[in-house]
Amino acid sequence: MVIAASVSFGVGGAFMKASDGFSRWLPSICLLVMFVIGAVFLTLAVRSMGLSAAYVLGLGIEVLVSVGLGHYFYGEQLTVAQVVGAMLIVAGVAAVRFG
């Protein structure tokens, strides 16, 4: 459930960029739909995992999904600082989740 929520939120974020500030209707609708789907999956995950575990784990996965989608679809460059930052976020998520 957490992975599905994270992917939904990450894809929603990609549609957020494509919506150009809600000025394009189709990407705007898609981002709203993806965020609602993500919220449903996260709600189900919180029920079984607890808030801190599900939310923090989901944020870490969402970072990876968002970075990948931004790079692949929008040609966003990955700097060393961004890669290190994403790795630190994932490490922090693992520490909170499994520590």
Low-confidence ranges of the chain (pLDDT < 50): none
Task: Report pLDDT for 4.
Answer: 96
Task: Report pLDDT for 6.
Answer: 95
Q: Under a CB-based contact definition with an 8 Å cutoff, are residues 65 and 7 in contact? A: yes
Helix (H, G, I), strand (E, B) or coil at 5: helix
Task: Report pLDDT for 96.
Answer: 77
Task: Report pLDDT for 22.
Answer: 96
CA dist 25 and 96 (Å) reads 38
10 Å Cβ neighbour count for 36? Answer: 12
Task: Report pLDDT for 17.
Answer: 93
Structure tokens at 23: 């000025």
CA dist 90 and 29 (Å) reads 30
Q: Under a CB-based contact definition with an 8 Å cutoff, are residues 36 and 90 in contact? A: no
